[in-house]
Amino acid sequence: MVRFKINRLPRVHIVDRYLAAAAPLGIANDGKGLDYFIPSGQEVALLDLAHVFSAEKEIRERLLEGRFLAFVIGAAHATKRLPIHKIISICRQSQLPILLLGGLEDQQTGDAIVAAAGAHVLNGCGKFSLHQSASLVRQARRVITHDTGLMHIAAAFRKEILSVWGNTIPEFGMAPYYPEGIWANTCVQTPGLPCRPCSKIGFQKCPKGHFRCMEGMDETQIAALAHAGLI
């Protein structure tokens, strides 16, 4: 698929492929999806979240009610991440508070997004541990995310996910994995690109130099999908 764009991929999630390999050992899928356990002391209360950011009254009230979006802006490889101007555009269109999540390496990017997008955007990158970030994902109304770890954690909490795919594709079998009978993920991607997927993992820059897989994203569409039914 990567080298010749010939799709010989099985239409089976990688979790089910792993379980099939383990079936001779008597291991079976319980159909309950993923689990993620937050250790004691790592839960983040929404009241504490509002204090961390000294939010304005209206934003504070919405945070306390859990009326916010989580936006996971990080990913291990640059070609899995939306360009910053696209993230800013999505955030500017939001009618709900947006909590940016990522690691310390995303903190500076988060600061730039907040400065450009407005006070309703809160930069949580580098402020919370992985478990604390998971707690905040669990409490968000909806999660916008790249193809990265917090996407799978969000699926473990049965969250509604808007997953954004750049150089990778969900057909690799690594889309969010839900329990049987649940599908709450919407994949957003730029269709029809002859160069996509260019890698199973990702690169630090687009091999072609144009980065159309992400530059071709419609921010208005993403913002509309993120807010559908919430406003």
Q: 57-70 pLDDT, tens per residue?
A: 888 888 889 999 99
Per-residue pLDDT tens digits for 186-224: 999 998 999 999 999 999 999 999 999 999 999 999 999
pLDDT at residue 230, as a whole number: 87
Q: State pLDDT tens for residues 9-31.
A: 999 999 999 999 999 999 999 99
Confidence of residue 47 (pLDDT cuts 50, 70, 90): confident
- Model pLDDT, residue 58: 85
Determine the pLDDT at residue 60. 86
Least confident stretch, 49-63, 125-139, 166-180: 49-63
Q: Which amino acid is at 88?
A: I
The predicted model scores a pTM of 0.94
Q: What is the 3-state secondary structure (H, E, C) of 148-207?
A: CHHHHHHHHCCCCEEEECCCCCHHHCCCCCCCCCCCCEEEECCCCCCCCCCCCCCCCCCC
pLDDT at 53: 80
- Tens of pLDDT, residues 140-162: 999 999 999 999 999 999 999 99
Is residue 45 within 8 A of residue 171, CB to CB? The reply is no
Amino acid at 223: A
Would you kindly state where each structural domain of the chain is located, as residue ranges? Answer: 44-227
Topology adopted by domain 44-227? Rossmann fold (3.40.50)
